[in-house]
Structure 1
């Protein structure tokens, strides 16, 4: 590791451990409603329901109802879930191996903005690797929809630090989202911004 050595590693999930294509979900939602991709992007920026779903403020059925109204689509839940999950791709085996290796001399944690529908799909992706959870790979896991907090709000980082008695300078936060990186850095946490599929390999070589 090229920064000052830390004892605690806090990983994001999507775009860091799991390969993502947000554009795929944008395209699939657009197809469901006969909308344009630009329309979907605009709605994400203007509706709080997306953030509410990530923080557990609304449940699966309410979120699906919101999407139905937004898209004027009244088909089955499975079609909505499939479109919403289209962004979730694969988990390269080498990333899971890296997490296991890092566990030998670090506390390795997960901090993810996510939701129930996505996590159901993530478990299916994990099945390829012979498990249905991240328990073998992280000492602690924090999911926004379960703790009612989301990145980049300061309180979610503070909660992780306080619950684990970690000094900010003794933690490295790894994320692909610039706002999330800034939120952690503002608290004095060391950060690694993932900008390509090689970032982790190059850093933890």
Structure 2
């Protein structure tokens, strides 16, 4: 028998971006640039994921923007658009996963938490845009804490703040790097690829079906 399936999970921790919220800079930059190739170049070489992650770790949007413009002045307008038109990167909530979250919330068998790499300056917009964020028993935002996944201190901050036992906590994230980070802290994980896959893996771990159909 798979020992993971026999665990009694009482805490479910969700990543937000690409799991519950559809966020993609291409939604904006496909409007700005004439071709997909130009968008790809810009996001791979100018406003990169690594650059954005520094804001997730607490760097101010203004500092990040001005620093990048100094390095790439020819792209000033496009760089300023990253946060100036940030809302246009939001594609809406991922309905199928939000429905899974709803069912888990309504069954009242679990504490639900979010652990997200997100700038503290843009997260308030998400809070007013997505009502389901109010369903969580706690949300830990990297930009607020100035530390981010996959740093062990970030997972431990969640565990300590809400007095969670890692052995009864299950973490759901679309980034395998972050799943490995959780595992290093004793937290089981599900590498999210779709709502259907999530339901299947939750069922394998005796979470989903027993919760919503009990």
* TM-score where L is the length of structure 1: 0.76
1:119 to 123, 130, 151: 123
Q: Deviations over 1:100-128 (max 9, x none)?
A: 432311110000001145425524642xx
More helix by share: 2
1:96 to 64, 83, 98: 98
Q: 1:123 to 1:40 in 2, by over 3 A?
A: same
Partner Cα distance (2:78, 2:20) in 1: 30
* TM-score where L is the length of structure 2: 0.74
- SS of the aligned residue for 1:19 comes to strand
| More off after superposition, 142-151 vs 72-81 | 72-81
Q: 1:29 to 1:10 in 2, by over 3 A?
A: farther
Q: Deviations over 1:156-178 (max 9, x none)?
A: 01111122222211100000001
Q: Note if contact 2:171-2:179 (Cα within 8 Å) is conserved in structure 1.
A: yes
Q: 1:2 to 1:199 in 2, by over 3 A?
A: farther
- SS of the aligned residue for 1:151 comes to coil
- SS of the aligned residue for 1:142 comes to strand
User: Aligned residue for 1:55?
Assistant: 57
Quote how far apart the aligned CAs of 1:22 are: 5.1
Quote how far apart the aligned CAs of 1:50 are: 2.9
Gaps of 5+ in 2: 203-207, 210-214
- SS of the aligned residue for 1:166 comes to coil
What does 1:27-46 correspond to in 2, within 5 Å? 37-43=40-46, 44=48
What does 1:125-164 correspond to in 2, within 5 Å? 125-126=129-130, 131=131, 134-135=133-134, 137-164=135-162
Aligned residue pairs: how many?
194
Q: Note if contact 1:19-1:89 (Cα within 8 Å) is conserved in structure 2.
A: yes
Q: Deviations over 1:33-88 (max 9, x none)?
A: x956235324536x6x43331111x2122122234343633449973336545542
CA RMSD of aligned residues (A): 3.2
Q: 1:88 to 1:149 in 2, by over 3 A?
A: same
Q: Note if contact 1:110-1:142 (Cα within 8 Å) is conserved in structure 2.
A: yes
1:12 aligns to 2:15 (yes or no): yes
